């Protein structure tokens, strides 16, 4: 996911675990960012369903998405 509204990290891609199976690319979400874990709105850029051993980083280092804010495509049929 990315945080396009934060000029300090705009253009950088971050990996998060997501407890919501209905999240899709392009969805706006709220997730902790940075050392102090301030909640910020970001945009999901890629969704992967992987086993723990295929994660891009050790799971204990990956933060979790806290909330799905909206689906940009207007498709809430999975919710």
Number of domains in the chain: 1
Verdict on whether the full-model pTM lies above 0.75: yes
Question: Phi and psi dihedrals of 46, rounded to 5?
Answer: -155, 140
pLDDT tens column, 20-29: 999 999 999 9
User: Distance between terminal CA atoms of the chain?
Assistant: 20
Residue 4 lies inside a defined structural domain of this protein: no
Q: Which domain holds residue 23?
A: 16-70
Average pLDDT (10-38) is: 94
Residue 57 lies inside a defined structural domain of this protein: yes
Supply the CATH number for residue 50's domain. Answer: 3.40.1440.60
What six digits make up the tokens of 16? 């998060």
pLDDT tens column, 43-79: 999 999 888 899 889 999 999 999 999 655 555 544 4
Residue 55 lies inside a defined structural domain of this protein: yes
């Amino acid at each position: 996911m990315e945080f396009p509204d934060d000029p300090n990290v705009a253009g950088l891609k971050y990996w998060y675990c997501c407890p919501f199976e209905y999240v899709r690319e392009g969805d706006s979400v709220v997730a902790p960012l940075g050392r102090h874990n301030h909640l910020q709105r970001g945009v999901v850029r890629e969704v992967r369903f992987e086993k723990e051993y295929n994660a891009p980083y050790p799971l204990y280092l990956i933060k979790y998405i806290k909330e799905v804010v909206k689906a940009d495509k207007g498709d809430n049929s999975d919710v």
